[in-house]
Amino acid sequence: MNNIDGHTTSRVENCRLIELGKNHHANGNLTVVENCMQVPFDIKRVYYLYDVPGGEERGGHSHKALKQFIVAISGAFDVVIDDGINQRTITLNRPYQGLLIVPGIWRVINNFSSGAVCLVLASEHYDEGDYVRDYDEFLKLTSTKRAK
C-alpha cells in the first residue's frame, strides 16, 4: 500500500473476512468485538445502515485513511470492493463474520435483504476530506499512485 498525496493505494487482496467468536448458548448466541482485538484498529466511530429500500445502494466511495469493518448484524447484503484494477463481491450474511476494508478501496454496498442491518466500525471520526466520492477521480488517483 502506498500513501502519496493523502491517498492510499491498496488492492482488494488487502481486504479480508474476519471470523468473530461465536459463543453459543441455549438461550442465544453472543459475539464480542473489542478495540484492537478482533478488529485490527482502534474503533473511533460506529454507525449502522437499516431500512434500505429494495434496489438501493450505499457507499459508492473510497477513503484516503479510514479503515472499516462491516458486519451484517441482521439479514444479508453484498459489498463490492474495487481497487481500480480488480473487483470482488463479498456477501455478508452472518453476524459473527465481518469484512475489513482498508483505505484506498472503492466500496459499494447493495442487494440488501428485507430487514438487513449493516454495522460499520470505523477507525476514524467522520471527516468529509477523507472521502473520494467520484469514481473517475478514484481511478485517476489509483492509476497515478500505481505508476509511481
The catalytic residues are 61
| Structural contact between residues 65 and 122, judged by C-beta atoms closer than 8 angstroms | no
DSSP 91-122: EE--TTEEEEE-TT-EEEEE-PPTT-EEEEEE
Q: Which amino acid is at 87?
A: Q
Q: How far is CA 112 from CA 35, 49, 76, 90, in A?
A: 27, 10, 6, 13
List, in sequence order, the alpha helices (H) in the chain: 135-147
Q: CA 22, CA 32: separation in Å to the nearest integer? A: 8
